[in-house]
């Protein structure tokens, strides 16, 4: 997607709809897509921070951690991978090297009583290595949980997962990390995100990452679509009788606003049907 101007991020009313988290960005120059993520300091200073909402910033090393804290981050995130190739492309180091850096970051965060969340990319497939074994995902997840991350978000970065592969992966990870400390992060490249999320819910996962209008993607996973659309996720959860506490109509309004701001069409099926896009 196109870069979102900081001024647009400031006035985006979506943050008022959230119950707990609004992810701000990345605090390390050169990591991920710096053009999209490097303005976190400006965004943190410009937004109104609501009580009860945490504002995490991605911090792959100590330098980034200190910048994030100085900018006002109330939570930090470390972003690992179950694929050696993806780890080197995404954060320029091996999995083992990344774990060593993350341990320093999480240790510092814990000393300051700042929560740390861990992410594992490529849990169901990698754009460079293809299939990823559930055991590899389990190893990385166990390391992150063991160093003190309160929650591990398991990402289907390129959206190739199916309910079957999701089930096998979660069965493996849950042997080392309790379901209460796990989340899923499903991209919708092959249209399987909601099915995969439903599988995770049925297995005891209660936290799901999503993105308004399904925007996003990854510069190192060519062709991958964005995260599952928040609007579509809420619609499904409402249909299951699960109360999210989030107003789907307000989310659609926010999605319409941001799509117009970046000149993109929403990826949300619910929004498309509602707005006749």
For the annotated catalytic residues, the residue numbers are 218
Single out the residue of 145, 139, 141 nearest to residue 106, CA to CA.
145
Please, where are the H alpha helices in 182-268?
A: 193-202, 230-239, 248-262
- Sheet strands (E) in the chain: 25-26, 56-58, 75-81, 116-121, 151-156, 182-186, 207-209
Half-sphere exposure of 130 (CA within 13 A, CB side): 1
CA 263, CA 17: separation in Å to the nearest integer?
A: 23
Say if residue 222 is exposed, middle or buried (CB neighbours under 10 Å; 0-12, 13-18, 19+). exposed
Q: How far apart are CA 24 and CA 41, in angstroms?
A: 9
Minimal CA–CA distance to 55: which of 135, 114, 139? Answer: 114
193-202 helix and 163-173 helix, angle to the nearest 10 degrees: 40
Helices 193-202 + 230-239 axis angle, to 10: 50
């Amino acid at each position: 997607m196109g870069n979102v101007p900081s001024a647009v991020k400031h006035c985006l009313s979506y943050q008022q709809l959230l119950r707990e988290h609004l992810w701000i960005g990345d605090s390390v120059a050169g990591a991920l897509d710096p053009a999209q993520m490097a303005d976190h300091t400006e965004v943190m200073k410009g937004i109104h921070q609501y009580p009860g909402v945490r504002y995490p910033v991605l911090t792959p090393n100590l330098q980034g951690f200190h910048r994030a804290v100085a900018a006002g981050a109330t939570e930090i995130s470390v972003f690992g991978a179950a694929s050696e190739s993806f780890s080197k492309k995404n954060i320029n180091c091996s999995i083992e090297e990344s774990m060593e850096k993350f341990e320093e970051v999480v240790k510092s965060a814990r000393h300051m009583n700042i929560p740390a969340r861990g992410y594992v990319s490529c849990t169901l497939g990698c754009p460079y290595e293809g299939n990823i074994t559930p055991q590899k995902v389990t190893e990385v997840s166990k390391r992150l949980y063991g160093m003190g991350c309160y929650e591990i978000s398991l990402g289907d970065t390129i959206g190739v997962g199916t309910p079957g592969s999701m089930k096998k992966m979660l069965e493996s990870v849950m042997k080392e990390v309790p379901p209460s400390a796990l989340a899923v992060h499903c991209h919708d490249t092959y249209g399987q995100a909601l099915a995969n999320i439903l599988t995770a819910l049925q297995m005891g996962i209660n936290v799901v990452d999503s993105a308004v209008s399904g925007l996003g993607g990854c510069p190192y996973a060519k062709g991958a679509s964005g995260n599952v659309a928040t609007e579509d996720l809420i619609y499904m959860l409402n249909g299951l009788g699960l109360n999210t506490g989030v107003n789907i109509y307000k989310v659609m309004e926010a999605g319409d606003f941001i799509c117009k701001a970046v000149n993109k069409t929403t990826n949300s099926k619910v929004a498309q049907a509602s707005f006749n896009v």
